[in-house]
Structure 1
Amino acid sequence: MTEAPHNDPAEQTLRELESRVEALVQFCDRLQEENRLLRQENEQLRSERAVLSERGEQARIKVESMISRLRSMEQAS
């Protein structure tokens, strides 16, 4: 029995398929890592947004309080 030569079309097709599958696996790995990083960044941005929103709300309350005090002072004089 003889071995199939390296230039056998079936062997060549199999090697090409293996190469393409390996490239696809590497591509999926890169996408998973990119997705993980994007999710992490998204979570960080959501946290920052919540902090900024809270600060904005606190500033609004302080400004409204100052306006009320100024109006009270104005009416008192």
Structure 2
Amino acid sequence: MSDSLDEQIRRLEQRVDELLALCERLREENRILRESQESLNADRASLREKNEQARSRIEAMISRLKAMENS
């Protein structure tokens, strides 16, 4: 009986160790994903700004062309 209890405790300790290792891996993965998301959000904001600048420049060119046509 004692061996069986010792074996059960050993298996339980092993399972707890596995769960702790899994938690640590998941924490690290979450950290990496958060950093990646922050980087992607920054890239997205930069691209939106560039898109808006390009839109403004194109609209200005169109206005100039229309003004030239009317002259």
Work out whether the TM-score is over 0.5: yes
Runs of 4+ off more than 6 Å: none
% identity of equivalent residues: 49
- The higher radius of gyration belongs to 1
RMSD: 0.7
1: CA distance, partners of 2:10 / 2:35: 38
Report the structure, 1 or 2, having the larger helix content: 2
Unpaired runs of 5+ in structure 2? none
1: CA distance, partners of 2:69 / 2:46: 35
Aligned length: 70
Q: TM-score, normalised by structure 2?
A: 0.97
Unpaired runs of 5+ in structure 1? none
Deviation at 1:23?
0.2
Q: TM-score, normalised by structure 1?
A: 0.89
1: CA distance, partners of 2:22 / 2:70: 71
1:29 alignment partner, one of 24, 42, 54: 24
Q: Which residue of 2 aligns with 1:55?
A: 50
- The residue type equivalent to 1:43 in the other structure is E
Greater RCO structure (CA 8 Å; 6+ sep): 1
